[in-house]
Structure 1
């Protein structure tokens, strides 16, 4: 049954279609999302959607533009470092609300107006903070996907690793597997088993993702701050 039920239909427009698509992806994930499924949710025939979005790729692009508007604008009255940090953590909060968005962002080949506007505003935080165009160019490379609130994590899904699987086995087999890991990959095992976080703050047996993200972000911003103070240029490098 559609969300509309027996209620009077609301006239469709592009924004309503995109908002409904975001809500559906939030509920079901990006995999089940299709034009047909979205049409059912809106209680219309699929062809009605094509008046507003030409195809699924355009739908996905539009959905990204919708959630970008949820990212906080640059804060005022703060130095560039605090402004950038808050903006990145706001983007991360948005992606945590819309778990499908990271996958879509990683697969987009065309930059939409919303993406361009966010990038332009993001770059502006550095330029308005007194950064040169040269340093800002290299800073944007260094920040990469972190500007959207995510990174490629080394220990992203510990439950799927050998160590995580071993926990489901009996103690003797588990110990044998750990010993073999220690023999073959001692450094990986040492880091994977390390934990400096409050156990209550860690989801499952993995790292505290938010802690690790902010730790790396602060390291990066501290380094950028140092280069800015030194008036670094790529020509001197």
Structure 2
């Protein structure tokens, strides 16, 4: 292993190698711990060597997003538009789940890089190839929003747990007490909370099945888009 690491460090430095190393380091230590100095140390170079390939930390993050986008499967040739979109979105979701730090980085990017533009171009192309009008596709893209990247902002926000600041687990007795209190104070929320399958590892809402909820909403959107398309919907009155 040591010989392999040493051999890797002797490879010529280039932009792709810098970005792949940055992604791997963020996977290991988290995005907050990623710095140019830490990355340089990982690559066995002085920090100034990195600036020949990325101008600053923001450009590094842009490039890391491009690397993640490169992991998303391309559109399936000759597939029905709905299948093509669904497969692509779920591929994007798998890519983000492999890199838990990627979502907040994607959300905070202000530069639209060529890789991101190309992804959006081909994403729009799946609807146009399916016979959607440019008008309907425009509104579809607004509706699908961040879901095209494999995530969405959920009504049951669990950002504290995602950021590693979740509160200690409650005892069974404490959970029961909370449930009783919620049933009395917020009966509607309690009713729907008790109606769904539970998944302790959810990042959507405590007890919700992440993947099921994501695919449920995605399929709901795709079915709605199909209905509008079949009715030749237009935003012009």
Shorter-chain TM range is: 0.7 to 0.9
* TM-score of the aligned structures, taking structure 2 as reference length: 0.87
Q: Between Structure 1 and Structure 2, how many residues are aligned?
A: 228
Cα distance per residue 1:187-225 (max 9 Å; x no partner): 122222332x3x6x7647621101111111001000000
Using the TM superposition, give the Cα deviation of residue 64 of structure 1 relative to its aligned residue in structure 2, in angstroms: 0.5
Which residue pairs with 1:232 in the alignment?
233
* Equivalent pair of 1:181/1:189 in contact (CA under 8 Å): yes
Which residue pairs with 1:207 in the alignment?
208
- Structure 2 counterparts to residues 179-218 of structure 1, below 5 A: 179-195=180-196, 197=197, 203=201, 206-218=207-219
Using the TM superposition, give the Cα deviation of residue 230 of structure 1 relative to its aligned residue in structure 2, in angstroms: 0.3
> Aligned to 1:36, what secondary structure does the other structure show?
helix
Regions of 4+ moved over 6 Å:
164-167
State the alpha-carbon separation in 1 of the partners of residues 169 and 119 from structure 2.
Answer: 43
- The answer for unaligned runs of 5 or more in structure 2 is none
- The answer for unaligned runs of 5 or more in structure 1 is none
Cα distance per residue 1:124-143 (max 9 Å; x no partner): 11111111110000000000
State the alpha-carbon separation in 2 of the partners of residues 94 and 117 from structure 1.
Answer: 17
Which residue pairs with 2:224 in the alignment?
223
Q: 1:127 to 1:38 in 2, by over 3 A?
A: same
* TM-score of the aligned structures, taking structure 1 as reference length: 0.87
- Structure 2 counterparts to residues 88-167 of structure 1, below 5 A: 88-157=89-158
* Equivalent pair of 1:4/1:42 in contact (CA under 8 Å): no
